[in-house]
């Protein structure tokens, strides 16, 4: 599933074609994805200007001139693709419609935004912009890891007394929003913390060290356009490249990249997810 860097990359790719532009027509080609679309979604989108495009955790939010906000979740295989952009940011002509083009937004500037999702694990919803933070998917989220609300004192407090593994704690969206399996593995490697360590047993300096490392890992991934694993593509259809710099994720049995470290990368399963780490570096 796309994590924060991938969703941020898609949001940035959509912005030139959507922000400040009217949705001339919205086509909704099925009644649902992971759950039913809101009633009259096509009508509620048509004719509205996208005032602002933003991201919260792994969700893309489009604030509309109607006072409503469109929430988009890519799920496992969802893609938001731009074609026919008159600004010249994208070179693709409008492609022929595909079987899994479930929602298509025809923008007044000539761009077309297509939500394609073969597995239909993605989702869309609409809500009042003024109360969007109270939406059931957004109200439970912790601070954004790249915001000022995510700081050492917050993480120390959140980890206090928590006997779950630090890997699980960092994946808890109530503690920090948007982190997923890939970037938690990479963060813990850089912090030299084994994923099985109990969050509440970590020393305060170790917990504090996690904050800038989380930010560095995410910022580098965004700069690289995310990680192209399985179905992820950017809004222009291109691949991300951060996966080429993974230190541990997906490298089971490979030598550790820390200079002079004799270790190899190991894989264990935690709560049904693979964790990758170096037993020599991460203690």
Q: Please identify every residue annotated as catalytic.
A: 2-3, 58, 273
Ramachandran area for residue 12 (φ above 0: left; ψ -120 to 50: alpha; else beta): alpha
| Eight-class DSSP state of 223 | H
CA distances from 208 to 14, 35, 144, 213 (A): 34, 39, 16, 9
Give the angle subtended at the CA of 64 by the CAs of 35 and 7, to the nearest 5°.
60
Distance (Å, whole) CA 210 – CA 273:
21
CB environment 100-130: b (16+ within 10 A), e (fewer): bbbbbbbbebebbbbbbbeebebbbbbbebe
């Amino acid at each position: 599933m796309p994590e924060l860097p991938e969703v941020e990359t898609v949001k940035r790719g959509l912005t030139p074609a959507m922000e400040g532009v009217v949705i001339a027509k919205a086509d909704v080609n099925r009644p649902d994805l992971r759950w039913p679309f809101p009633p009259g979604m096509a009508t509620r989108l048509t004719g509205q200007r996208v005032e602002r495009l933003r991201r919260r955790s792994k969700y893309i939010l489009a604030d509309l001139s109607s006072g409503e906000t469109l929430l988009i979740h890519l799920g496992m295989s969802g893609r938001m693709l731009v074609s026919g952009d008159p600004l010249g940011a994208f070179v693709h002509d409008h492609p022929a419609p595909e079987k899994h083009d479930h929602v298509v937004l025809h923008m007044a500037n000539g761009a077309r935004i297509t939500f394609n999702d073969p597995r239909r694990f993605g989702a869309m919803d609409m809500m009042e912009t003024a109360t969007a933070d109270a939406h059931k998917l957004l109200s439970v989220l912790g601070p954004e890891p790249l915001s000022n609300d995510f700081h050492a004192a917050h993480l120390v407090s959140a980890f206090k007394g928590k006997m779950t593994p630090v890997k699980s704690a960092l994946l808890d969206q109530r503690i920090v929003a948007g982190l997923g399996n890939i970037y938690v593995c990479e963060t813990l490697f850089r912090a030299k913390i084994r994923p099985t360590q109990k969050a509440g047993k970590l020393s305060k300096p170790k917990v504090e060290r996690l904050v800038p490392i989380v930010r560095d890992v995410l910022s580098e991934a965004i700069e690289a356009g995310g990680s192209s694993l399985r179905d992820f593509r950017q809004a222009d259809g291109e691949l991300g490249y951060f996966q080429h710099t993974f230190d541990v994720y997906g490298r089971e049995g490979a030598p550790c990249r820390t200079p002079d470290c004799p270790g190899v990368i190991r894989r264990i399963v935690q709560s049904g997810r693979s964790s990758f780490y170096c037993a020599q570096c991460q203690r």
